[in-house]
């Protein structure tokens, strides 16, 4: 069996973490260096991560989550945001290609114009969907990479988005997508593997 198959089978959402198990910014950055490689629409890289290390900020996130205790026990809680205005940085994302001659000036200008129009024409709801879609793909990669490096995670949606955004000073346009707690699972309290639908119930070839 491949390493990836093993990894996917061994990842699960931790219910409880071991307390007093610090994770360093260096260890987190090792994961983020690989998370960079996640796909994103037009390579806009909508995801933004805020690992919370400050105890008073962690307390605010804990309150914003309605007191989910794993936030206190985890080695870190990470707020994952999606940038609804990521498309406004399309030029920046392509400057490297232009400088290297992998894109000429006309292609560059056309890309900037087309991508800007693509998002502006579809409007605010689409920009929010894109933020959630792209940040979620990135967050899944984060959780698999964390597992690969020996860390357990739990994605979390139970929180007040406004309170989370305020706790970490999120700028306008940054949408809270999920929290991820990361740490070492307390193996005396594992989460049993939940029921999974058979393939035929979630895959419909050609038509529903
Ligand atoms: C978007 C999302 C939000 C979740 N929110 C929570 C949460 O707030 N608290 C929690 O304990 N688990 C949360 N989970 C974990 C799910 O309950 C878990 O993924 C599911 O039961 C399947 O279990 P597994 O991840 O162990 O395979 C969330 C998962 C996802 C993908």
User: How many angstroms separate the CA atoms of 182 and 121, rounded?
Assistant: 38
Nearest CA to ligand 1 atom 6: 156
Q: What is the mean pLDDT of the chain?
A: 97
SS3 118: helix
Does ligand 1 come within 6 angstroms of the Cβ of 116? no
CA of 121 to the centre of ligand 1 (A): 34
Whether residue 14 has pLDDT greater than 90: yes
For ligand 1, is residue 157 a contact (CB within 6 Å)?
Answer: yes
- What are the beta bridge partners of residue 83? 174
Residue 156 has what pLDDT?
A: 97
**How do residues 97-136 score in pLDDT, each as one tens digit?**
999 999 999 999 999 999 999 999 999 999 999 999 999 9
Ligand 1, atom 9, lies closest to the CA of 156
Query: By percentage, how much of the chain surpasses pLDDT 70?
Result: 100
The answer, yes or no, to whether any atom of ligand 1 lies below 6 A from the CB of 156, is yes
Q: How far is CA 76 from CA 21, 156, 180, 181, in A?
A: 9, 13, 8, 6
User: What are the pLDDT digits (tens) for 128-159?
Assistant: 999 999 999 999 999 999 999 999 999 999 99
Any atom of ligand 1 within 6 Å of the Cβ of 158: yes
Contact yes or no for 177/131 (Cβ under 8 A) = yes
Fold of 3-86+133-202: NADH Oxidase (3.40.109)
Report pLDDT for 183.
98
Q: What is the DSSP string of 46-77?
A: -EEEEEE--HHHHHHHHHHTTS-THHHHSSEE
Using the mean position of ligand 1's atoms as its centre, give its distance from the Cα of residue 70 in Å. Answer: 12
CA-nearest of 85, 176, 80, 177 to 127 is: 85
């Amino acid at each position: 069996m491949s390493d990836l198959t093993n990894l996917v089978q061994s990842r699960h959402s931790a219910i409880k973490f071991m307390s007093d198990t610090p994770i360093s910014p260096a260890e987190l950055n090792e994961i983020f260096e690989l998370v960079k490689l996640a796909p994103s629409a037009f390579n806009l890289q909508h995801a933004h991560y805020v690992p919370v290390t400050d105890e008073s900020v962690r307390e605010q996130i804990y309150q914003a989550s309605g007191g989910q205790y794993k936030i206190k026990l985890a080695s870190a809680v990470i707020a994952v945001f999606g940038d609804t205005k990521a498309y406004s940085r399309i030029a920046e994302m392509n400057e490297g290609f232009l400088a290297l001659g992998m894109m000429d000036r006309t292609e560059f200008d056309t890309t900037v114009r087309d991508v800007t129009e693509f998002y502006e024409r579809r409007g605010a709801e689409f920009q929010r969907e894109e933020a959630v879609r792209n940040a979620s793909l990135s967050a899944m990669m984060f959780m698999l990479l964390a597992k690969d490096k020996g860390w357990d995670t739990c994605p979390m949606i139970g929180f007040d988005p406004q309170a989370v955004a305020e706790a970490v000073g999120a700028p306008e346009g940054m949408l809270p997508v999920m929290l991820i707690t990361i740490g070492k699972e307390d193996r005396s309290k594992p989460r049993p593997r939940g029921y999974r639908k058979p393939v035929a119930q979630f895959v419909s070839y050609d038509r529903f």
